[in-house]
Amino acid sequence: MRNEDAAYQLNEWQNKQNEHFKFIPVIENPSSDWQGRQGNVIDAVLADFTSLHDYQIYCAGRFEMVGKARKAFLEQGLQKDKMFADAFAFMDLD
């Protein structure tokens, strides 16, 4: 998210965590009070996972961001058929 104002129902998402679901909010432009992860979410994923081969990724956002994520995640081992985004209906994926 760009800032904490975009963190819709942050506490509720954090409370839903379990052994199958981990929620890690990443704020690009945090306030000085933000105590969580900072930076770009694509960079955070790439830093946390050496290989994305065994994962599925669901992506939402600006077309430019989704395109950047697709390229970076494929380079990190993600299989093409394991990434989903409604933006793909409008993008040239070759």
Listing DSSP states for 23-87 in one string gives ---EESS--TT--SEES-HHHHHHHH-S--TT--EE--S-HHHHHHHHHHHHHTT--GGGEE-GG
Residue 12's pLDDT is what?
A: 93
Other CB atoms within 10 A of residue 70 CB: 21
The identity of residue 1, as a single letter, is M
Asked whether residue 91 falls in the same domain as residue 59, the answer is yes
DSSP code, position 19: T
pTM of the model: 0.83
Asked whether residue 31 falls in the same domain as residue 57, the answer is no
> pLDDT, tens digit, for every residue of 46-72?
999 999 999 999 998 888 889 999 999
Q: Report how far residue 51's alpha carbon sits from residue 62's, in angstroms, rounded to the nearest whole number.
A: 24
Q: Is residue 46 part of a domain?
A: no
Q: Is residue 44 part of a domain?
A: no
Domain encompassing residue 81: 53-94
The identity of residue 29, as a single letter, is N
Domain count along the chain: 2
Asked whether residue 65 falls in the same domain as residue 91, the answer is yes
